[in-house]
Structure 1
């Protein structure tokens, strides 16, 4: 069988692709991967036998929507040409956005012959866009959502299942931080991923900047937001904030050793963020790291309910005291038990999803 994984970014930014690749026998099937190479940074190679198709078109994430439209028109042309040329038997679309560009073609040529991976709310408030998403879900043989909260914007269908931004390959490294002393000062609050949400991070700099009890560490892609943060840091002469640049996914197994609290804060006005379950939530429960999340978002509510983190208000002038007190008074035995329970629950859903993918491919 000839299978295409179709994405609009680089492999290193979609670790959840392994959720699907692990269910495919790449020796018996002809597996292809369409990626979008947007910058000059090196990508990682698939761990399995896969034919790569690279759409090369430089584009920063923090640019105007108009410029993005032009790039996506070019991407659509490239993807459609690839589909016609290669004549695939099955497609896995991750995330959903590439599918919205080709929804008519997919409905006509791949009805019940593709899986949709839905991981972000973008323009669903627009009626036409919401209809496109519904069309994709209904024509897919299966749709996986990375957060149950996403079901609120999708049609009620029996073919929607829950996956997670969970990386089983991280499990052998669970004790990397746990085996080190917890009493470390200053406390190191770390963020990893694409650095954006300028207002949130500027607020964080104002609350924790030059507080001798804390350090702020940022690992990841730096564009306009990081530049604005560095300018603010220079203006305020803040000394306890550090940027470490891009990293490979496996490198986090090392820098978590130098992390005490995960910064899992985002723009709460963004509908997609309010419903999302981010990668760092799972890193927190896997590596036994407490996380600070926003009030009013699904991920934060889940962390607080499970006992794996707290929800905070960035407007709180005493925020640094609140976070310091939270960490200092943590019952580590209860916290680690909460992480274990959450990992166990997620693993069950993850394995159920793998079985659904395997059974689906066997029927094609």
Structure 2
């Protein structure tokens, strides 16, 4: 077996780390090895030279003691598995796709790969834990190219020489016109992705329940759990559907008039992230609905991409119903252009630095 110079490490399957494609592009055709936690037991193909898959299936659904123990077993097992591979193969460069992967492997990264690895942080995890935070800070300082997906992450990570790589997937010209929004009432408000905060989803449902101006649609793993709540309350304008094939993500927007990305606020888990729905909506020309007092709200309001609101404020629906007025359509088109230009500029700078890191 011929080992590659570069190893990309992931704590999940390819379909849940779509930004891996950006790193592969920055390799400019160079071989890479893929070391990952195969949670779906599908032995993913990302175009790697060598595949090192730690297979441990994780149960989904409401957290239980058994599920937590199952996940803990997975973390311990992956650490042992990944550490052995990284020690044996002595790569020239390593990319850790997620901060928690880097923290889990911090001993070998700091000992053997200092100055030769990228830490890519996409979510808030356990930065409130002093030990976790301190280890992560050491990793950031030891990485020549630390990457974050949202500028707002500096609020809990501090101000380092971060590069910004947005959670954006560039759509082709035909894909950008997939949404057949006709601007007619009822407006179809579509939420696409895995359920993260079902209690908050119920607040959003209550806000729009039986308002004939709107039709609410939730599509993705976990949202089927809302079906009982909808039936119990006799709500007629909300639809839910469970998990779909990841390759069909874009098609979930085909009947959307608006995109929904609301998980809550007042917690670092929700306040600082920029969801991929923001980038999809901007490219598809869809207005987006987000939670107020979040980084998503800051971007949405700065570029006039939609409405940031609290679902307890029922008057916000009047503003939402006006999103397809001629004036707001014009402002949104300009805002989308300016927003996407900013994303392209941020990503271009980061890609150049990553290519330099790979010596491409």
**Normalised TM-score (structure 2):** 0.90
SS in 1 for 2:322: helix
Question: Hey, what does 1:294 align to over in structure 2?
Answer: 291
**Off by >6 Å, runs of 4+ in structure 1:** none
1:173 match: 175
In 1: Cα distance, 2:218 partner to 2:232 partner: 19
Change (3 A) 1:263 1:165: same
Native 8 Å contact 2:34 2:48 kept in 1: no
Q: Distance in 2 between matches of 1:247 and 1:50?
A: 29
SS in 1 for 2:54: strand
Counterpart in the other structure of 2:135: 132
Q: Rate the CA distance shift 1:186–1:43 in 2: closer, same or farther, 3 A.
A: farther
Match of 2:239 in 1: 242
Q: How far did residue 329 of structure 1 move?
A: 6.5
- Change in Cα spacing, 1:329 to 1:226, as seen in structure 2 (3 Å) is farther
Q: Secondary structure at the match of 1:331?
A: helix
| Structure 2 CA distance for partners of 1:155 and 1:325, relative to 1, 3 Å | closer
Measure, in 2, the Cα distance between the counterparts of 1:60 and 1:310. 35
Shift of 1:328: 4.8
CA contact (8 A) 2:303 2:332 kept: no
Moved more, 314-323 or 264-273: 314-323
Q: Which residue of 1 aligns with 2:59?
A: 60
Name the stretch that deviates more: 278-287 or 310-319.
310-319
Alignment of 1:245-264 (within 5 A): 245-264=242-261
Aligned equivalents of 1:243 and 1:32: distance in 2?
39
Q: Displacement, 1:70?
A: 2.8
Q: Which residue of 1 aligns with 2:329?
A: 332
**Is the aligned partner of 1:34 residue 2:35?**
yes
Conservation of the 8 A alpha-carbon contact between 2:183 and 2:324: no
Structure 1 residues 351 and 230: CA distance shift in structure 2, 3 A: same
Q: Which residue of 1 aligns with 2:97?
A: 94
Unpaired stretches in structure 1, ≥5 consecutive residues: none
The Cα of 1:248 is off from its aligned counterpart by 3.9
Using the TM superposition, name which of 320-329 and 94-103 deviates more.
320-329
Matched, 1:164 2:166: yes
Q: How far, CA to CA, are the matches of 2:37 and 2:325 in structure 1?
A: 44
Say whether the 8 Å CA contact 2:188–2:257 is kept in structure 1: yes
Structure 1 position 346, deviation (Å)? 0.7
Asked if 1 retains the 8 angstrom alpha-carbon contact of 2:289 and 2:306, the reply is yes
Q: CA RMSD in A?
A: 2.3
Offset at 1:348?
A: 1.2
Q: Equivalents in 2 of 1:10, 1:36: separation in Å?
A: 7
- Does residue 71 of structure 2 align to residue 71 of structure 1? no
Task: Give the paired residue count.
Answer: 353
Q: Is the 8 A contact 1:150 1:276 kept in 2?
A: yes
The aligned counterpart of 1:148 is 151
Could you state the TM-score of these two structures normalised by the residue count of structure 1?
A: 0.89
**Secondary structure of 1:124's match?**
coil
Deviations 1:16-37 (A, max 9, x none): 11121111134x43x1122323
Task: Summarize the Cα distance change of 1:181–1:294 in structure 2 as closer, same or farther, 3 Å threshold.
Answer: closer
**Secondary structure, aligned partner of 2:76:** helix
Q: Sort the Cα spacing of 1:147 and 1:25 in 2 relative to 1 into closer, same or farther, 3 A.
A: same
Residue number in structure 1 paired with 2:17: 14
Instruction: Report the more deviating stretch, 108-117 or 312-321.
Output: 312-321
CA contact (8 A) 1:207 1:319 kept: no
Question: In structure 2, what is the Cα distance between the partners aligned to 1:141 and 1:290?
Answer: 38
| Aligned-residue offset at 1:270 | 2.2
- In 1, distance between residues paired with 2:306 and 2:100? 31
Does the 8 A contact of 2:87 with 2:108 survive in 1?
A: no
